[in-house]
Every structure is written in C-alpha cells, then in structure tokens.
Amino acid sequence: MSSEVYAPGLEGIIAGETAISTVEGGLRYRGYPIAELAENTQYEEVAYLLLYGELPTRRELESFRRRLDEARLLPGELVRFLRSLPPGIPYMDVMRTAVSMLAHFDLGYRSWPSEPTAAGALERCIQSTRRIAERLLAQMASCLAAYYRLCRGLEPLSPRSGLSHAAQFFYQLNGEVPDELAVRACDVSLILYAEHEFNASTFTARVITSTMSDPYSAVVGALGALKGPLHGGANEHVMPLLRRIGSPERVETVLQEMLARKERVMGFGHRVYKTGDLRARILTQWAKRLAEQRGETLWEDIAQRVEDYLRQQKNLYPNLDWPAGRLYYYLGLPMELYTPIFALSRVAGWCAHVVEQWQANRLIRPRARYIGPPLRPVVPLEAR
Ligand code: COA
C-alpha cells in the first residue's frame, strides 16, 4: 500500500479528536490553562470539568461531592477479598483486580445495555459511564486506603463525609487529616495528574471503548497500561534514585554511569514535551515548600543538580513524575502508593475519554506493516 503511514509507537500520529484537553501551547483542560486550574480549583472541580464539560457551580459541586461521599463505602465482599490476598502483591495489580470486582457489586451496572448498538442505548451508555466514573473516583481511593491499612495489620476506616477528596484519602489512610499545606499539595498533584490527552493508558481506555465494551473494562485496561515504568510507574523510581545518589556532589558520577549503561532516568523525558513539562514546574514549587516545611531540603538540592546535568548533557527535562515522587515522599506516603495515587486522579480523565469515545465512536483498528516470512506453502506434519 503506497499511501500507508508508519510511525513506530504512533509518534506524531493524530489518532483521534478530543475536546477534553490539549498539550498545544501549554496543557489546557477544556480550554483552561493548567496553571490557573492548579492555582484556583480543587481536584473535585477538575474531575467534574473533565466529566461534564464545564466547571461546576457551587450547587453542582456540592451535589457532586455528596454523590462521591455516598459512593465511598466499599462492598463488604471487596474488603473480604483484599483481606484474603497473600502478602506482597503490587498495589497496581490489586487496584486492577479491585476495579474489575467493583463492577460485580455495582447494581446499576447490571442494567448496562446488553446491545449498545440498539436505538436509544447510546445516551444510556454515556449516562451510565458518568455514574460509574463517580463511583470509581470514590471507591478506588477507599480501596487503596483499605489495602494499605490491611497490609499493615490495621482495619480499614469508614469514610468521613464532608472532606475534600484529598483530605478524605489521608483520613482513610491514617485516621487523620494532615495540615492544610499537605492536603493542598496533594490536591494540586491530583489536578495535574487528572488528564493528558492521548497518553498510553487513556488511549488504551479508548481502544477498549471503541469495541463498545464497558467502562469498567476500559479502566481495568488503562490501569494495566499506567502501571508500566515508561508511564505512571516512573514516580516510584524517583526517591530510590535520589537515595542512590545520596549527595549533590555525587550527581555527575552516578548519572554518567547510568547514561553510559543506557539506563533511563525515571521522571525525565517525554514523548510530546521536548523542552519541559509545565506540570513538573508547578509541582516542583509544592515539593520545595513541603521540603522546607519538613526541614529536609537535601533531596531538592540533589534533584536540582540532576535536572541541571540532564538538561546540559542530554537536553532532557523532568516530567510530572519527577516532583511527584518527592512530593509524595514528603507527605509521608510509602512508595508503593505513588502510581496508584496517579491512577486515583487519572480515572477522571479516562472516564471523560470513554464518554467522548461513545459520543463519536469509530472502532480503533490500525494496520500493521508485515515483516514476517514471505509467502510459503504449508508442509504436512509427516513431512516436517
Ligand atoms: N533517561 C535517559 N535517556 C533518555 C530518557 C531518560 N529518561 N528519556 C529519553 N532519553 C533519551 C533516549 O535514550 C534517546 O537517546 P538516544 O537518541 O541517544 O538513543 C532520546 O532521549 C530519545 O528518547 P526516546 O525513547 O526516543 O523518546 P520517547 O519519546 O520514546 O520517550 C519516554 C518518552 C517517556 C518513554 C522516555 O523519555 C522515558 O523512558 N522516560 C523515563 C520514564 C518516565 O519518566 N516516564 C514518565 C513519562 S510521563
């Protein structure tokens, strides 16, 4: 085929249209610059914006928060399942299974159109996706907190109504809400992680939806894609690297060795942003504030030296995972929670894309360039 276009990793390919966000001219969610959203909104407002297209009024926000609160309690069967797991299972694997299980205990999901192509089914699929999105926003956070506590021999905590999403997460983890700076820093990280057009996990969710499969399946697939270290898994590698470097003086030596071995520095580089990621710059300010508050600025000093070195030597800039890995550490969160926290936030973006895919669906089915053996006859078994 002479007109075929081949771009490994779909690099530079426009694979669909979206009105949810753009990275052109600086990241914007539904037209709003990310810096303004991070400055002036809370995560719940952003999740609403992504799912429903507009920032909520105060009344809409209150009602949205109430619905989230009503959905936070986990089915007892899921808690029993979490309790039954053998030790040491990666948190992202648990989240993936848990989301799949949540579908079985969602009574509303039982009325998911069995024939989504039938007349009138489209609007029901869209409404149902938004309802499922709200449940997942609430329940994925409860599930992560419950599993975290069970792993430490503690009982899961019931949600406390009236808290912001970020504060609620801390409460369900530890039974207390930290100071305002900590809650707001976490909130901003959730805003920045919420959406990023056709990244790998979102594209996975859209591919699954394009077959007219259900939103739970789309989110399970997206979680699988997010887990990989080239995507969301990168934030868990930040503190181990900083610890391995240990002091600002050792930055050059360690990085030289890594680059010589062609090792990737997790939290650096991006498929789209080649001159820096605005989200990383915003979150770095919050990481620095937390580090100063804790009186623990060593990691920030090392991080700055790493940034300078990689910019000068490789023209590489940090992505959002670089400050996020440090910020979550300053918040006292254990490393295995970092990628799942990314997922708690990104589920809003995934579901917004699922809705959008339904609104103008076309099966996503690209072609492959064949590089296998040339045409050859099948040799019968006895002659092989
Ligand atoms: N550390 C070291 N070198 C890196 C690098 C990193 N984090 N990211 C890119 N590079 C180098 C590559 O080795 C390559 O160098 P070369 O041309 O000398 O071989 C060059 O930069 C281009 O990299 P490439 O892999 O083609 O870019 P990409 O668009 O496919 O990569 C990522 C995007 C995100 C996969 C890549 O930057 C990466 O692996 N980053 C680390 C993981 C991470 O932080 N993921 C979170 C993304 S938000």
Give the model confidence (pLDDT) of 201-227 as tens digits.
999 999 999 999 999 999 999 999 999
Model pLDDT, residue 33: 98
Q: What is the dihedral of CA 4, 10, 12, 13, to 10 degrees?
A: 50
Evaluate if residue 297 carries a pLDDT over 60: yes
Q: How many CA atoms lie within 13 A of 3 on its CB side?
A: 0
Give dist(CA 209, CA 337) in Å, integer: 27
Of 197, 198, 230, the one to substitute when testing ligand 1's pocket (max ligand atoms within 8 A of C-beta) is 230
Model pLDDT, residue 227: 95
pLDDT digits (tens, 9 = 90+) for 86-109: 999 999 999 999 999 999 999 988
Residue 255 has φ and ψ, to the nearest 5°, of -70, -35
22 beta partners: 28
Atom of ligand 1 nearest to the CA of 11: 29
Share of the chain above pLDDT 70, in %: 99
Model pLDDT, residue 117: 80
pLDDT band at 116 (very low <50, low <70, confident <90, very high): confident
Atom of ligand 1 nearest to the CA of 267: 44
Pick the more confident residue, 60 or 117.
60
* CB neighbour class for 41 (10 Å; exposed up to 12, middle 13-18, buried from 19): buried
Predicted TM-score (pTM) of this structure = 0.95
Model pLDDT, residue 174: 96
Average pLDDT over residues 37-50: 98
Model pLDDT, residue 349: 98
Pick the more confident residue, 360 or 1.
360
Evaluate if residue 277 carries a pLDDT over 70: yes
Residue 274 Cβ inside 6 Å of ligand 1? The answer reads no
Average pLDDT over residues 72-78: 97
Report all structural domains of the chain as residue ranges with CATH numbers, in order of start: 32-180+195-228+335-359 (1.10.580.10), 234-330 (1.10.230.10)
Residue 269 Cβ inside 6 Å of ligand 1? The answer reads yes
* CB neighbour class for 354 (10 Å; exposed up to 12, middle 13-18, buried from 19): buried
Model pLDDT, residue 265: 95
Model pLDDT, residue 136: 98
Average pLDDT over residues 280-307: 97
Give dist(CA 347, CA 354) in Å, integer: 10
Model pLDDT, residue 274: 85
Average pLDDT over residues 102-130: 88
Cβ atoms 197, 20 nearer than 8 A: yes
Residue 306 Cβ inside 6 Å of ligand 1? The answer reads no
pLDDT band at 357 (very low <50, low <70, confident <90, very high): very high
Model pLDDT, residue 2: 53
Share of the chain above pLDDT 90, in %: 89
C-alpha 267 – ligand 1 centre gap (Å): 9
Average pLDDT over residues 171-183: 97
Average pLDDT over residues 155-168: 96
Average pLDDT over residues 149-165: 95
Of 226, 314, 315, 322, the one to substitute when testing ligand 1's pocket (max ligand atoms within 8 A of C-beta) is 314
Evaluate if residue 350 carries a pLDDT over 90: yes
Model pLDDT, residue 3: 74
Evaluate if residue 134 carries a pLDDT over 70: yes
Evaluate if residue 1 carries a pLDDT over 70: no
Sign of CA dihedral 189, 238, 195, 176: negative
Model pLDDT, residue 296: 93
C-alpha 374 – ligand 1 centre gap (Å): 34
Model pLDDT, residue 113: 82
Average pLDDT over residues 293-300: 96
User: In 172-205, which positions are buried (b, 16+ CB within 10 angstroms) versus exposed (e)?
Assistant: bbbeebbeeebbbbbbbbbbbbbbbbbbbbbbbb
Residue 255 Cβ inside 6 Å of ligand 1? The answer reads no
Look over the chain and give the mean of its residue pLDDT values, rounded to a whole number.
Answer: 95
